[in-house]
Structure 1
Amino acid sequence: MHMAVLVQKYGGSSLSTVDKLRSVARRVADSHRRWRRLVVVVSARGDTTDELLRLSEEVAGGAVGSFAAREVDQLLATGECAAAAQLAITLARLGVPAVSLTGPQAGIRVTGRHGGAMIDRIDTGRMAELLEAGRVAVVGGFHGADRAGDVRTLGRGGSDTTAVAVAAAMGADRCEVFTDVDGVRSADPRVVPRTRQLPRITPEAMAEMSFAGAGVLHSRAVELAAMTGVELRVRSATGPGAGTVVSRRGGVGLLETSGAVVAVSHDLDVARVLVHCRGRADLAAEILEILAHNAVPVDLVARSGPQEDEFRMGFTIRRSDVADVRAALEKSAGSRGGDVRVDDGVGKVSLIGMGLLNRPAYVARMIAVLAAAGIATSWVSTSQLRASATVPRERVCEAVTLLHEEFGLGPAGGEAVDRDAVYRTAVDRDAAARDIAV
């Protein structure tokens, strides 16, 4: 019998109803029979977290600011703790010995601010004792305890990150993440009906997909898996199938055989921010420090040079993070007679692949195809693994569909397309449009 440790993670949608909860319990029971040493990490069921946030705003009489951050974390963590207890009860009904654990009970110690903490270490003693006794440890994700013993939540993707951290600490063979999709796909199937499942992908490419908006895994969890060597598997919570393996072993081969582009991601939670000041005061470090202090990821950064007579710095952040940093940015710019402009009417589309810096034609194709459809692009950025551009928010889904078709990412067996011909036509149309505009 295989005696290694397996870690499984189930998201909130997989547990949203009693029937789904029982289905997950049966899957866990089957895994326990085969593996014996099993840790299950769960998110809050269904829309519990959103409901708790609404409740906190209701009792506070409006938006809950930093004055109650500790209490909000105390409240939000109850969603994961309740889900863990309910799954443990369901497992007991099936004859599977299981014990639910809060994050602190599982030995998860965190550091950082409320609502955006990071896992510092995990004391695996209690989980190891449970597994040694043949019990399933069901851990509430998304939170841990700081040095004072206070609960702090991990923010977006916290349960994914919890699962990977537990897998690394326990020396698990792998971490299986069960979602409402059958694996990582070439685009969001809710936007593009005919997508292709990726059987294997590297952690680096997966992290770029996640950061660019793919909701199947959080980028923090993927980055942690890459750093600790944990193999991730994304699988459907309701059906069979191997899903997608996120691992360096064999992942590069997939990218090479599939071409430079393997997927298209999109993100609607985007805002463009432009900080402008007259004079040569350099605010770049101060601006980035504000974003870092609030744990706000930044993308598509551009700034003016030292030889210019004014300071300009543009970047994108999550639209949902604007309220957290806007006042501080305006104070910084205002002290130098400047201002801050925010455009939240945009979204971001991204090509994910390998070697994109060495293939500038791919970015040219992306811009040309969108321009041919009348979709304006701006704030373009390219790395070896990702090429991104902002487009009007209301046309993001259309842009994803066009790019998915342009780069031939659908299932095999479709009608062949002459990509170079499509590209030349798009370039010609774009040139003609510019001539008309002139």
Structure 2
Amino acid sequence: MNTTVDVLVQKYGGTSLQTLDCVRQAALRVAAARRCGSAVAVVVSARGSRTDELLRLAADVGATEPSRELDQLLAVGECESAALMALTLNGLGVPAVSLTGHQAGIQTTDRHGDALISRIGATRVQAALDGGEVAVVTGFQGVDRAGDVATLGRGGSDTTAVALAARLGASACEIYTDVDGVFSADPRILPAARCLPWVQPGVMAEMAFAGARILHSRCIELAAMEGVEVRVRNASSQAPGTVVVDRPDGQPLETRRAVTAVTHDTDVARVLVHCRDSHRDLAPDVFEVLAAQGTVVDLVARSGPYENEFRMGFTIRRSQANSVRTALHELTASFGGGVHFDENVGKVSVVGMGLLSRPEYTARLMAALAAAGIPTSWISTSQLRLSVIVPLERTVDAVETLHREFQLDRHEPAAAVSTASRQTGTSATSGRSATA
């Protein structure tokens, strides 16, 4: 590897490449980074709604479940984007080559539709960079042990970009999207939400898991493990964006404001399992069913060993409910029990640092929602996240209520902002944080 040249990885999402003009604007940004002396590798998603269009095509011929052939089809979107980006860069006089996941040496596990990256060879990527070319790599895809295309699932292109940055020893991984950065709440539903100049990796991972759609939790977890600095920026502006990085500012944790953001997730189903046989512990069987389908579980509660009936509740993604519905019904029915799915719920989370050590934050959350007349059911607490289940139709109201309760529309004290500015390289006037 050529260690004398700084390597920068940039990733462009679907909305950042939606039109040919968007592709050209992204190419101009790549060219500018290259003129500054960096060797640039670019990771691209499918343009606009291309993946959804391909999924509809597959559904029209009866293919709805993940499979080898569906992955073959879905990979087309990223291949199209990579070729268009490389052609545009070459047209601007910037040498570029497009590479599929296979050509870039991205090896994955064997699970179609939700594979994990196991290794990146990157031989051709590094050769392109050493030869003065921009390497444009397809996100979201790699090849499994059989040599077949395997897609990485939700957030896959972000994960590709971070993994490639780690493999190349890049100085940073810039994620370009259609918003100015990471916000204290979803700005599409809450105009008072503010862009955060920095977010700690652990907090960002919790925000992503709890519903913030800007980055996927797998991407941030990988960045934290590999020491990759992630920057989230708007592809259509020069806004400084958000840096996902630890901030060793010397300020004790106990005296910092604890809350960073409020997130929400409407892709939620609440599942209730019960069995009259109190001597049968169905929990291991339930989790085996969920694990077999790669179903993500949150907010788990269950009955104790001395109760008359086995009962267990948890939340999963509503979009994954159909994949486990039949198996859970068959499991519980075989022991004289049943399962109920409630899909009319949303999850709202307060995310920050040291929340479990401050029980007053849980009290404030519950009191604020009660005062607003918003019913709550299950609640989960940890050092990084307080999550509560609310009726689906009150989800936005709950976000607004908690954003106001924890004063996330207010600036962080000037001293803290100044420290964040030194860490991220932004000015004190542009570097704002929304902690409370």
Counterpart CA distance in 2 for 1:363 and 1:6 is 41
Distance in 1, matches of 2:255 and 2:75, equals 44
What secondary structure, in the 3-state scheme, does the structure 2 residue paired with 1:35 have?
coil
Offset at residue 84 of structure 1 (A): 0.6
Letter in 2 for 1:308: E
Aligned pairs for 1:26-37 (under 5 A) are 26-37=28-39
Whether 2:25 is the aligned partner of 1:23: answer yes
Match of 2:189? 191
Q: What is residue 112 of structure 1 aligned with on the other side?
A: 110
Measure how far apart 1:21 and its partner are. Answer: 1.0
Among candidates 183, 201, 204, match of residue 203 of structure 1: 201
Could you state the TM-score of these two structures normalised by the residue count of structure 2? 0.91
| Paired residues of 2:345 and 2:390 also in contact (CA < 8 A) | yes
CA distance in 2, matches of 1:100, 1:411: 45
Q: Give how far 1:257 is off.
A: 7.0
Structure 1: gaps spanning 5 or more residues = 414-438
Q: Give, in angstroms, the shift of residue 256 of structure 1.
A: 6.7
The structural deviation recorded for 1:65 is 3.0
Q: Give the corresponding residue for 1:388.
A: 387
Mapped to 2, the partners of 1:250 and 1:284 lie a distance apart of 41
Matched residue type, 1:65: E
1:58-97 equivalences under 5 Å are: 58-60=60-62, 64-65=64-65, 69-97=67-95
The residue number in structure 1 matching 2:396 is: 397
One-letter amino acid matched to 1:325 = V
| Counterpart residue type for residue 171 of structure 1 | G
Q: How many residues align?
A: 410
Q: Confirm or deny that 1:322 pairs with 2:317.
A: no
What residue number does 1:220 align with?
A: 218
1-structure distance, mates of 2:304, 2:188: 42
Q: How does 1:96-245 map to 2 (within 5 A)?
A: 96-245=94-243
Q: 1:59 to 1:320 in 2, by over 3 A?
A: same
On the 8 A contact 2:110/2:145 being kept in 1, the answer is no
1:249 to partner: Cα distance? 3.7
Query: Using the alignment, how far apart are the partners of 1:262 and 1:58 within structure 2?
Result: 43
Identical aligned pairs, as a percentage? 61
Structure 2 vs 1, CA of residues 254 and 318 (structure 1 numbering), >3 Å: closer, same or farther?
A: farther
- The equivalent residue for 1:266 is 264
Task: Determine the C-alpha separation between the residues in 2 that align with 1:85 and 1:14.
Answer: 15
Q: Which amino acid aligns with 1:329?
A: L
Query: Which residue in the other structure is 1:4 paired with?
Result: 6
Amino acid at match of 2:320: D
Q: Matched residues in 1 for 2:359 and 2:246: separation? A: 25
For the residue of structure 2 that corresponds to 1:367, the secondary structure is helix
Gaps of 5+ in 2: 413-436
* TM-score of the pair, normalised by structure 1: 0.91
Change (3 A) 1:217 1:256: farther
Aligned Cα RMSD in Å? 1.8
Q: Say if 1:274 and 1:314, in contact at 8 Å, map to a contact too.
A: yes
Query: How far apart in 2 are the matches of 1:379 and 1:8?
Result: 40
Relative to structure 1, the CA distance from residue 410 to residue 2 in structure 2 (aligned partners, 3 Å threshold; closer, same or farther) is: farther
- Distance in structure 1 (CA, Å) of the matches to 2:346 and 2:250: 29
2-structure distance, mates of 1:200, 1:253: 15
Runs (4+) of structure 1 exceeding 4 A deviation are 251-258
Q: Deviations over 1:174-205 (max 9, x none)?
A: 11111111111111101110112211111100
- Higher helix fraction: Structure 1 or Structure 2? 1
State the distance in 1 between where 2:405 and 2:19 align: 39
Match of 1:422 in 2: none
